[in-house]
Structure 1
Amino acid sequence: MKPLSYEQLQQACSARGYRFFDDGNYNLNIIGVRSADLQANTFNDLIYIAWRVAGEPIVVSLPATTDPGVYWRENLANAAGTGFLVPGQYSGAFRVGKHKGYHALVQARELPLYRDADRDAKLEPNESSIQTGYFGINLHRARVDGRSNLVDRWSAGCQVVADSSDFDLLMSLVDIASKHWGETFTYTLLDEQLLKGVH
């Protein structure tokens, strides 16, 4: 997946009527882009952080997954099916908190998930399967140290950053931003296949 620039992310959000935070210092845009490949068990998605400091735009892209690993697709944690976040923009989706005891972003409002219960490796979004609620959809890392290549059990529906150092960068920015803008953060999830017109 080719990384997007600050301006391209802004354009992609504006085209969908989503907010893009473009004022002040460390007013973070946290944007996930889900790969069109819904069968992979790799960190083939990207989570972007885009912000300004002293008017200058900054963007970083972190290899991540916005999908559950194949383990949870085949071994359902919920009888309704494995859950994965419906693309959209969710104001106040996450707040600063703890995931399994460490500093992370945790679900702060009800979120909609697709449910896929057929126990195969491919995720199949189905509008009729959507459930909305508190499911523990957090934004966290995979391994404590280093980078994970396979998702496997690292995600049962969470947004998971592949590399621990990338995640540390994200949380350091979150800590700075929370002092300016509060401890809840909007999350935007976009589909790669809907970004073809972004230049």
Structure 2
Amino acid sequence: MKPLSAQQLLAAMRANGHRVFEGELNLNIIGVRASDAQANTFNDMIYVLYQRGGAWQCKAYPATTDPGTYYREHPANVKGTAVLVPGRYSGCWQLGQHQGKYDALVQRGEMTVYRDNNSDAHIDTDTPTESGYFGINCHRANKHTTSKHVGKWSAGCQVLASPEHFSQFMNLCRDSASLYGPSFSYTLLTESETRL
């Protein structure tokens, strides 16, 4: 999936009725789920869209917005594997630690997931949804190198493939938190919603 520009993201957010934060370092964290539903790849994108000196900036990070094949085939929940439903989640994350191990964005507000429970590699979105607190965090994969396969890195979390990108992402979050507080909203779009 080709990275989007700041103007393309702004247009997609507004066309889909999602709020856009303005102001110095007021972060818009936006995931885009690829139409290609190939399992176990970092084929999605997580963007950070923000203003600096009045000009729009856009950082694009290869990521996964859906679980790896391990958890699709071996659900950690009896109801099925959590697959985040596209939409807007206001104040859903805050600065914290992923599994108590390292700094990340951790869930603090309700999020809605599909429950994929047929134990195959394909994402099913024609399943019941559930809203609540499921530990849908935003974190990195391997701490040493860029990951090529999702594997066990995601059971539903939003995961950046590169540790360097994740470090940059977290620095932006900390800088923003010093101005606006430690909570963050997240918008998950589908690739088709960005084609205007």
TM-score (norm 1): 0.96
Q: Which runs of 5+ in 1 are unaligned?
A: none
After superposition, residues 100-119 of structure 1 pair within 5 angstroms as: 100=99, 101-119=101-119
Q: Is the CA contact 2:9–2:194 (under 8 Å) kept in the aligned structure 1?
A: no
Instruction: Report the Cα offset of residue 57 of structure 1.
Output: 1.3
- Counterpart Cα distance in 1 of 2:179 and 2:5: 24
Give the structure 1 partner of residue 174 of structure 2: 175
SS at match of 2:171: helix
How big is each residue's C-alpha offset from its partner over 1:81-111, in whole Å with a ceiling of 9 and x where there is no partner? Answer: 1111000011101000000220000001111
Q: CA deviation at 1:75?
A: 0.5
- Displacement of 1:195 in angstroms is 2.1
Q: Percent identity?
A: 49
| TM superposition outliers: structure 1 runs of 4+ over 4 Å | none
Q: 2-side partners of 1:116 and 1:123: how far apart?
A: 7
* Aligned 1:44-193 pairs, distance under 5 A: 44-100=43-99, 101-126=101-126, 128-193=127-192
Tell me the distance in 2 between the aligned counterparts of 1:195 and 1:110.
Answer: 25
Report the Cα distance in structure 2 between the residues aligned to 1:43 and 1:119, rounded to whole angstroms.
20
Aligned to 2:8: 8
Distance 1:5 1:91 in 2: 23
Q: How many residues end up aligned between the 2 structures?
A: 195
Show structure 2 runs of 5+ residues with no match. Answer: none
Task: Quote the RMSD (CA, aligned, Å).
Answer: 0.9
Deviations 1:24-56 (A, max 9, x none): 211111000001122321100000001111112
Q: Distance in 2 between matches of 1:19 and 1:88?
A: 11
Q: Tell me if the contact between 2:8 and 2:194 (Cα under 8 Å) persists in the aligned partners.
A: no
TM-score (norm: length of structure 2)? 0.97
Matched residue, 1:34: 33
Q: 1:140, 1:160 within 8 Å by CA — same for their partners in 2?
A: yes
